[in-house]
Every structure is written in structure tokens, then in C-alpha cells.
Structure 1
Amino acid sequence: MSQPPRIFDTPLISQHLARRTELGNFVTDLVLADLEDRLAALIRDFPRAAIIGPDIDKLPSFGQAASARFAFERYAAFAGEDDVPALTGDDYNLIVSILHLQAVNDVPGYLARLRARLAPDGLLLVATLGGDTLTELREAFLAADAMVYGGASARIAPMLQVRDGGALLQRAGLALPVADVETHIVRYPTPLALMAEIKALGAANPLLDRPRRMASPALLAAAAQAYAERDSDPDGRIRATLEIVWLSGWAPHDSQQKPLKPGSATTRLGDVLGQV
């Protein structure tokens, strides 16, 4: 079987994360708050649960479902060459992955390997950056590259579109797949302030096929000008889109709902519509 192409430079991502400042990571905070709400709606016990993320010190040690509190095993994302951390056993009732999937090289394989670690009727929850994240910055750099260098370079990583989420979950062998998206608009004083925060969060260009030369002052100035012209508000601040895609699916089990067989309906659609 052929290996999927390498898109992301995982060792470089690890280096970026290791060099981060003490600046608060509001993206992780948003995702963890949303995770707390999603878990609180589940009437389910999770005797064994794992959580994976790039900020292992920020990952919760415990979760709270509607029925009970439970402990998390915590695993660091981007800690080695493999996309999936070394989870032990195949009896997890819950696996949560946050802000990792957007920078793995084999997305279907990643989901399938996590699925293999789930017990029957176990739940996989994934939060990842969506395809519209930083779309303004992407467009600004495309315009700046064309102006300064006469062509485009890969500067913003490709990200998952929510419409593809359900199919990926099914391909991984998960039942009852659900994909939804949370969109946030974040504002910054200038485009350069946004770029500085991206670097401080350890999220600088992670692509293996990235430009090898440093971005020149002329390129940064052109990108900042294009950004401000396209996506600034009347007060001069610029907008940045942050899209969080959530995926959820269950390891198959006989107790789960299943679609009826074709032709098994006992009521005609025409009869129902005639009663309206």
C-alpha cells in the first residue's frame, strides 16, 4: 500500500510549539469550552477516556458528562513522527482530539487508527481548524506574492471543509457520523499584529513545501496592505476568520440506531401529504 504524501513538517511543528511565548492561547480556550458543553449533554459513562492536543498542559485531566465525572488520559499531539500518539489498548470509551487533525498527513488513516482504539459503542470527538480559517490572510498573501514575486507560494496550510467530515468518519468505520462548524470573527489592530500572534502561538507555516527564504519586508508590507484594503472595518481594525469543525462518530454496536431496509415502510408518503 502506498504511503500518503507528506504535506506537513511535523518536527518543525514541534519546534514551533516548543518556542512559544507565554501568550494565552485563546483558540484552545474556545475549543475546550465548547468541548465542556458537548460532554455535558451526553448521558453516558466513560470509564476510559483519552484526550489529544498540542497543549498537553492545558488539556483537562477530568471531564464531566451529564451522568458522571471521568478521568482523561492526556496525550501530546505532534510529539513524534507518527500522527497518532501511542494510545494503549483498544477499549477506550471516549477519544477526544483537539487542534491536531488540521496538520496530520494522513487524515483518513488518523481517524481509522483512533477508531481502532475505541471499544464497541465508544465515541470519537474531533475538533479541527476548518477550511475558511485565515482565508483573509491566505488571499492577502496570494495578492502580495503575485505583486512582489510574480507567482504564488504555499504559505497557509489547507484545512478540512465541513462538508467532507461525514464521509471521512464513515470511511474510518464510524457509525452515526456528525459534522458541524463554529465560526468566529476575531479582530486585530493590524495584519502584522495577527501575523505576530500566529507566530507566538506556534502556528507559523507548517508545510513541508514551504518557501525556504524568509518573507521579505516588501512581501509583508504588500500582504498587510492587501489585507487592510480587503478586510478592514471602519475603525481600521482587520477581521480574521476562525472556523472550528467538530466531527463525532461512534464505534459500531448492535444497540445503535440503524436505517430501515428499503421498502419496509408501512405508511405511504402520499397519504401523509394528503392529511396536511
Structure 2
Amino acid sequence: MTAQPIMTDLAKLARNRARATPAGMFLHQSAADEIQDRLELINKSFKAPAIVTGFPSFWAPQLPAALAAPADEVLTLDQGAHDLVVHAMALHWANDPVGQLIQCRRALRADGLFLSVCFGGQTLHELRACLGQAEATITGGMSPRVAPMAELRDMGALLQRAGFALPVADAMPLRVEYDDMWRLMRDLRSMGETNALHARLRRPTARKVLEHAADLYHSHFGTGDGRIVATFDLIFLTGWAPDDSQPKPLRPGSAKQRLADALHTDETKLPN
């Protein structure tokens, strides 16, 4: 059996998260507000919620009645114990995201709700491009610096692989302006989102590389008034633990009325 490649250095990730500050939680606040809005739209009360997160000091107060579980490789969630599981801003660092989703599904009771929010594929694409180009120009090579986050379509497929019913994946891109790349990097440190890749460069990056990257950032992603733009792509996943009460898709060919009749229009046959 081939060993699964390790993307994230979990010890480094824990150190990064330990250095996070309240000022760096502004994206988490946007994610939490959206989660709350989605829960309010669901006509169902949840009596046994749980939340999986690497930032319990921020997320636990968002769902005060929820059990807070660390976003470890093995989740401390009992099977069938919860009617709601929220996976909060951690899935993008998981070495085994499908395994995380399967564990969440197993922790749900029948017809229990799963919600997840994490960073998606377009996150920090500007920073990734500028650092890569600068390092290639100055050193002749490139090292991993920004986690390879999954695209929206891939995330939706993960829900299906994990066995969720009625899976939905959608994105909420956020564009944040900064004075310069240095300010962006300071914000990433305060978010606990600096480089924790297992294959990362283990020595300090040369100052020339960072300075060239900062210049590239201004020239390619400047706003025109001396500032730069950074994209943060929030991906939301929704799925339900399977239950017989849930709506099921009809068998192909089982329709009892033509769509054209329902729309009161003529049917146009396609050419052979």
C-alpha cells in the first residue's frame, strides 16, 4: 500500500495557530457570520452540536452549546452523537480531507447537518504567483510557500465521496486591500496561516526574494492608488447524514408529465 503524502507539518501548524491574535480573526468572523446566517435559514433546532476547529478560543463562543473538538487527524467525536457538526476554517490544512469528512459524517445522527468553511483554491493566488516568480528569478528554483487549496468542484466531490446526502458546495470570495505585501504577511501571521507545508523551505527566505516579490505584487496586483489586493476564497460545504425521510432523486424516465407541457410551450426536437 502506498503511503499517503504528507502535505502539512502538524507541529508547525500548531505553532502558527498558537501565535494567532484576535486582530487576525477578521476572516474567521466573516466565516462565522455566514455560518450563523445559514443555520438561521434551516427550519430545524439542533440539540447536540459540535464544532471542529484549530481556533477554539474564537469559534467556541460562536456556538456556545457545542462540543469543541480539535482539528486533529483523528477527531474526538463519538459516533452518532451529534445532530450538527461544523468544521471551521481547518479543512484546507488537513492531510486527509476525505477522512475528516467521513469522521464528521459518522459523528452525525441520521438527518444530522454538516457545515464546513475553509479556504479554497483562489486564496492568495496573487502572493503565490509573486513569490514563485521572484524565487525563480533570484535563486533559479521554487519552494512550496502557499498550501495547494482545493477548487470548489473538487470540494463538492469530497462531500459525495464521504457519503453525505444532498451535498452542496459554494464559494464566497473576499478581496482585501493592503498597503503592501509586508502588511499582508503580518496579517497572515496574526491569522495563524503562515507556511506550515511539510515540504517548505527550512531556512529563512533571502531578503532579495521577498523584496522582488513585493515589487512584483505592486506591479501586477496594485489597486492604482499604491495599495495591493489579496484574495481569500471561502468555500462552504453543506451535507446531511443520510436518512429515509430525505428527498430522493426520481428514477430516470419516471416522469409522468412532459416539461414542455408544464411550461405551456412547444417542444423542439433536436436534429439527429
TM-score range, shorter chain: over 0.9
In the alignment, is residue 58 of structure 1 matched against residue 58 of structure 2? yes
Q: CA shift at 1:159, angstroms?
A: 0.5
Asked if structure 2 preserves the Cα contact closer than 8 Å seen for 1:61 and 1:74, the reply is no
Q: Encode CA deviations 1:110-147: one digit per residue, 9 max, x unaligned.
A: 11111111111011101010100000000101110111
Conserved? CA contact 2:24–2:188, under 8 Å: no
1:74 aligned partner: 68
**How far apart, in 2, do the equivalents of 1:174 and 1:193 lie?**
40
How far 1:75 moved relative to its partner? 2.0
Q: What's 2:188 paired with?
A: 198
Q: Quote the residue 1:34 is aligned against.
A: 34
Letter of the 2:132 counterpart: L
Counterpart residue type for residue 73 of structure 1: L
| Matching of residues 224-239 of structure 1 within 5 Å | 224-239=214-229
Cα deviation digits, residues 238-266 of structure 1 (max 9, x gap) = 00001100001001000001011122111
Counterpart residue identity of residue 151, structure 1: G
Contact residue 188 and residue 238 of structure 1 kept, 8 A: yes
CA distance in 1, matches of 2:3, 2:105: 19
- Give 3-state SS (helix, strand or coil) of 2:122's partner: coil
Match among 154, 170, 175 for residue 180 of structure 1: 170
Q: % of aligned pairs identical?
A: 39
> Does structure 2 retain, via aligned residues, the 8 Å contact 1:7–1:105?
yes
Q: Is the 8 A contact 1:91 1:117 kept in 2?
A: yes
Unaligned runs of 5+ in 2: 267-272
Q: Offset at 1:23?
A: 2.9
**Out of 87, 93, 97, which is 1:97 matched to?**
87
Paired residue secondary structure (1:58):
helix
CA drift at 1:24: 3.8
Range with greater deviation from structure 2 (142-151 or 172-181): 142-151
1:19 aligns with 2:9: no
Partner of 2:158: 168
In 2, the alpha carbon distance for the partners of 1:125 and 1:3 equals 29
- State the alpha-carbon separation in 2 of the partners of residues 175 and 160 from structure 1: 21
Could you say if the C-alpha distance between residues 274 and 20 of structure 1 is closer, same or farther in structure 2, counting changes exceeding 3 Å? Answer: closer
Residues 41 and 233 of structure 1: CA distance in aligned 2, closer, same or farther (over 3 Å): same
Counterparts of 1:228 and 1:146, CA distance in 2:
18
CA distance in 2, matches of 1:30, 1:62: 12
C-alpha deviation, 1:237, in angstroms: 0.5
**C-alpha distance in 2, partners of 1:45/1:175?**
19
Amino acid at match of 2:155: G
In 2, Cα distance between equivalents of 1:36 and 1:156: 29
3-state SS of the aligned residue for 2:65?
A: strand
How far the C-alpha of 1:89 sits from its partner, in A, is: 3.6
Residue equivalent to 2:179:
189
* Separation of aligned partners in 1, 2:245 and 2:263: 32
The structure where helix makes up a greater share of residues is 2
Q: Is the Cα–Cα contact under 8 Å of residues 19 and 189 in structure 2 kept in the other structure?
A: no
In 2: Cα distance, 1:227 partner to 1:16 partner:
24
**Aligned residue for 1:132?**
122
Please say if 1:267 is aligned against 2:257. Answer: yes
Aligned partners of 2:70 and 2:76 also within 8 Å: no
Deviation at 1:71, TM superposition (A): 1.8
Mapped to 1, the partners of 2:62 and 2:233 lie a distance apart of: 26
TM-score w.r.t. length of structure 2: 0.92
User: For 1:62 and 1:97, how far apart are their aligned partners in 2?
Assistant: 13
Q: Would you say 1:159 and 2:153 are equivalent positions?
A: no
